[in-house]
Amino acid sequence: MINTSLSLASLAGSPRAYPGSFAGSLTLPTLGAMFSLVTRQALSWRLAAVSRQLVEPIPGALLCIAAATLVWADGGTDVGDSAPHMNMDRAVVGAIRWDGWNEWDVWQRCFDPPEWRNRLPFFASVTPEGKALVREDSQEVIDKEIAYAKAGGLDYWAFVWYHPNGWPPNSRNMAKCFQLYLSSALKMDINYSLIISGGLHLGPTERLPETMDYLVQRLKDPNYQKVLGGRPLVYFLEIADMVKDMGSEESARDWLKSLRHKAVAAGAGNPYFVVMAYWPPRGAEQLDALGGDAISAYTGHCIGQVVDNKGFAYAKLAEINRTFWENAKATGKAFIPTMNAGWDSRPMKRPEFPDRDRKDDWYAPPTPRELADHLKSAMDWVEANPSVCPARSVLIYAWNELSEGGWLVPTLSEGTARLDALSEVLKAESVPPGAAALSFTKCVIDESPTAAGIAPGPDGNYAWFSGQWWYSPKPPLSEYLTQDGVLALALGGDLVSAPNDFSTGKLRLLPGSDGFYVEFDCWLSDNDPDHFPALWLMPAEHNGKREDHYAWDPPGHERWMEFDIDEGSWGPGLAGTVHSHSGIYEEGYQQIRNPNNVSSVPIDRSKKHTFGGSYDPVHQSVTWWVDGVEQMSAGAPYVPAVAANQHFYLIVSAQSRGAQKPYSMFVSGVRAYVPPTSALPPAR
């Protein structure tokens, strides 16, 4: 087997300046005088937390057939839509997962003939007797696949879902990889959606109410893929079987309507239902019969086939995909285009699969460049047809449909060549709008925080450190947990991305001279107004050595910028503040901050949002973003010129407005972007 390691080219605050201070008089000499009673080194983190409350902060499919895709709306707005949630300026790209590589080895026999072993994935092997062993149903393999998918730039996997009791024991085998994904500590590194099929996939008919409840819980997962205003993306396959299972078309529609309403009532959002059929006209018919939003495809290789067991170049398959797109557009329905990573099901023309069409055409495997170019054409087609593709999504067939010829998963013969090529397209176009607005295209921090990444002490080569440099004692490490692969801060938790001595940690300081854009994926356990989550930046120069003193100022005089990207519960929406601090510590600092800094757009903080902020040293300005949408900006004098001389670190803290109500603050991702000319190395 090949080496499965990835080959893809893949700061503290101060007791004198509080995150989010609306500021007010308490951050002027009065507060400075209060702090002068104790030394800055001895300030307790509990005192700092209490003092903050004194300052008013600113508010693979088993069916193996081509299938088009329908999306149900069922009237859409009657159950409510969420606000837009898109934190990157490109189409969302997913890949289908069909997890037949398990203890049930019927598909593994496709690779016993040597001529098909070029498709064997990185986790496969061949016995001395010539028998292929292709098993991905282990946590180790799934975790490696997650790492590969993330490095390749994919946004989500669309799992073909199997109810464990659909046809035991084999249905349990087919469901195992999805369960391993859910149990992975890395699962937040790639989102997921579900492809739900009629027939045995849905499980026993008498247990459909339980199945619905389970699905609703999954749609609430923070890593479930959302489109169009936070709507969970759900695909459906084999509608005819579903109608048969439920007795009638009306019953099937009622079941889906109930699923939609239960999801909304549970706070999961209004699902974007997607059903898989054979080709666009048939999809349009089902759309009209059942109600819906869009059509798409599981695999789009059927249109224009000769069906004479002939082989063609990959370019022909790409052309057939594009014909599918245009046919879908002609129906007048909205559309999510699917592109094939291949189609060649000849390994399945075996006695074990009597339903296979022996005359099915096949296509040569793509080169990595051909594959990347086809993906780019699909993404460009989405952007050129915004009214046809409102979900801004592309679906790839497939991640691991190896026996049918569609795969992205690294193989023993190709390694990561396909993902390497795709990453050039996806990562080049995945710069968030807030970074793209300033042409800050180099990602220098790409972090999925966990409790294991927090230093046991104040210094060392770690990503995060508990407590700011003046805290004594520090918040205990018990304030931080990893829950379902996501970092959770308890009330009182406070993390910074720089060691207390500001030596080099795993995450780089961001030079103000370059400018930067930073974003955090964050949500809370509930929306209680007492909760005060804060995401902010401070300069390393503002430290115990007073390195924010400059030669042109009087002795002991300091000046620095504090950039508060978000502070929760001080208004209905984002509360973003930039402070220009200056003065002599013993005499009390002075500061000014931007007015009108609370957005009126409400935020449900129990849902994942992406909070971002950019600093532009050229125009001496900062801008705030939520879920890829610009909120507000500020400039001089609130943004001080001295910020261009400073180096900034990140802070995440779970505070309280005073009642000290317990809660969890979840942070699943942190990213930072700088200009491409920056000397900082790119994130790996």
- Looking at residue 510, its pLDDT comes to 97
Residue 440 structure tokens: 């800050």
Q: How far is 348 from 354, CA to CA, in rounded Å?
A: 9
Radius of gyration of the chain (CA): 27
Q: How far is 201 from 186, CA to CA, in rounded Å?
A: 26
- Looking at residue 286, its pLDDT comes to 80
- Residue 463's SS3 state is coil
Reported confidence tier of residue 582, pLDDT bands at 50, 70, 90: very high
Task: Give residue-wise pLDDT tens across range 161-174.
Answer: 999 998 888 999 99
Q: How far is 654 from 524, CA to CA, in rounded Å?
A: 10
User: Around 23, how many Cα atoms within 13 Å sit in the side-chain half-sphere?
Assistant: 19
DSSP for 499-541? -TT----SSPPEETTT-EEEEEEEEES---TTEEEEEEEEETT
Average pLDDT over residues 340-369: 87
In the structure, how many helices (H) and strands (E) does the chain have?
12, 33
Q: How far is 654 from 661, CA to CA, in rounded Å?
A: 11
- Looking at residue 92, its pLDDT comes to 95
Answer whether residue 57 shows pLDDT above 50: no
Answer whether residue 179 shows pLDDT above 70: yes
**Does residue 393 contact residue 383 with C-beta atoms inside 8 Å?**
no
Count of positions (residues) in the chain: 684
Contacts of 595 (CB under 8 A, 6+ apart): none
- Looking at residue 200, its pLDDT comes to 83
Reported confidence tier of residue 87, pLDDT bands at 50, 70, 90: low
Dihedral over Cα of 461, 465, 469, 472: its sign: negative
Q: How far is 403 from 133, CA to CA, in rounded Å?
A: 14
- Looking at residue 280, its pLDDT comes to 87
- Looking at residue 243, its pLDDT comes to 84
Q: How far is 176 from 164, CA to CA, in rounded Å?
A: 8
> What is the pLDDT of the chain when averaged over all its residues?
84
- Looking at residue 303, its pLDDT comes to 67
Average pLDDT over residues 242-265: 91
DSSP for 215-263? HHHHHTSTTB-EETTTEEEEEEE-HHHHHHHHSSHHHHHHHHHHHHHHH
- Looking at residue 71, its pLDDT comes to 41
Average pLDDT over residues 490-515: 94
Nearest-CA neighbor of 75 among 317, 281, 290? 290
**Going from the N-terminus, what domains does the chain have, and what CATH number goes with each?**
67-430 (3.20.20.80), 435-674 (2.60.120.200)
Bridge-partner residues for 613, per DSSP?
A: 518, 624
Task: Give residue-wise pLDDT tens across range 503-517.
Answer: 888 999 999 999 999
- Looking at residue 199, its pLDDT comes to 82
- Looking at residue 52, its pLDDT comes to 28
Q: How far is 330 from 334, CA to CA, in rounded Å?
A: 10
- Residue 664's SS3 state is strand
Answer whether residue 26 shows pLDDT above 60: no
Q: How far is 341 from 398, CA to CA, in rounded Å?
A: 6
**Does residue 613 contact residue 434 with C-beta atoms inside 8 Å?**
yes
**Does residue 636 contact residue 588 with C-beta atoms inside 8 Å?**
no
Query: Which of the residue ranges 25-39, 54-68, 237-251 would you say has the lowest mean pLDDT?
Result: 25-39
Q: Residue 644 has what DSSP assignment?
A: G
Instruction: Give φ, ψ of 407 to 5 degrees.
Output: -150, 150
- Looking at residue 357, its pLDDT comes to 67
Nearest-CA neighbor of 111 among 387, 369, 412? 412
Tell me the one-letter amino acid at 339. Answer: M
Average pLDDT over residues 377-401: 96
Reported confidence tier of residue 159, pLDDT bands at 50, 70, 90: very high
- Residue 464's SS3 state is strand
Answer whether residue 258 shows pLDDT above 60: yes
Number of neighbouring beta carbons within 10 Å of residue 529: 11
Q: Residue 563 has what DSSP assignment?
A: E
Cα–Cα–Cα angle for 574, 474, 462, rounded to 5 degrees: 80
- Looking at residue 29, its pLDDT comes to 25
Tell me the one-letter amino acid at 126. Answer: V
Average pLDDT over residues 633-657: 97
Answer whether residue 549 shows pLDDT above 80: yes
Q: How far is 548 from 556, CA to CA, in rounded Å?
A: 10
Reported confidence tier of residue 305, pLDDT bands at 50, 70, 90: low
Nearest-CA neighbor of 4 among 126, 153, 155, 121? 121
Dihedral over Cα of 577, 578, 582, 584: its sign: positive
- Residue 49's SS3 state is helix
**Does residue 607 contact residue 522 with C-beta atoms inside 8 Å?**
no
- Residue 451's SS3 state is helix
Task: Give residue-wise pLDDT tens across range 413-470.
Answer: 999 999 999 998 998 778 899 999 999 999 999 999 999 999 999 989 999 999 999 8
**Does residue 572 contact residue 600 with C-beta atoms inside 8 Å?**
yes
Distances (CA, A) of 563 to 35, 49, 509, 579, 632: 22, 18, 14, 7, 13
Q: How far is 259 from 211, CA to CA, in rounded Å?
A: 10
Query: Which of the residue ranges 215-219, 443-447, 619-623 would you say has the lowest mean pLDDT?
Result: 443-447
Answer whether residue 76 shows pLDDT above 70: no
Instruction: Give φ, ψ of 275 to 5 degrees.
Output: -115, 140
Q: How far is 276 from 585, CA to CA, in rounded Å?
A: 66
- Residue 276's SS3 state is strand
Task: Give residue-wise pLDDT tens across range 658-675.
Answer: 999 999 999 999 999 999
Residue 143 structure tokens: 């975790």
Top-confidence residue, 383 or 73: 383
Top-confidence residue, 262 or 278: 262
Query: Which of the residue ranges 288-292, 333-337, 395-399, 407-411 would you say has the lowest mean pLDDT?
Result: 288-292
In SS3 terms, 565-630 reads as: EEECCCCCCCECEEEEEEEEHHHCCEEEECCCCECCCCCCCCCCEEEEEEEECCCCEEEEEECCEE
Q: Does the N-terminal peptide bond of residue 433 adopt cis geometry, omega within 30 degrees of 0?
A: no
Tell me the one-letter amino acid at 461. Answer: N
Of all residues in the chain, the percent with pLDDT exceeding 70 is 86
Average pLDDT over residues 325-329: 94
In SS3 terms, 334-391 reads as: EEECEEECCCCCHHHCCCCCCCCCCCCCEECCCCHHHHHHHHHHHHHHHHHCCCCCCC
- Pairing mode, strands 406-407 and 362-363: unpaired
Of all residues in the chain, the percent with pLDDT exceeding 90 is 67
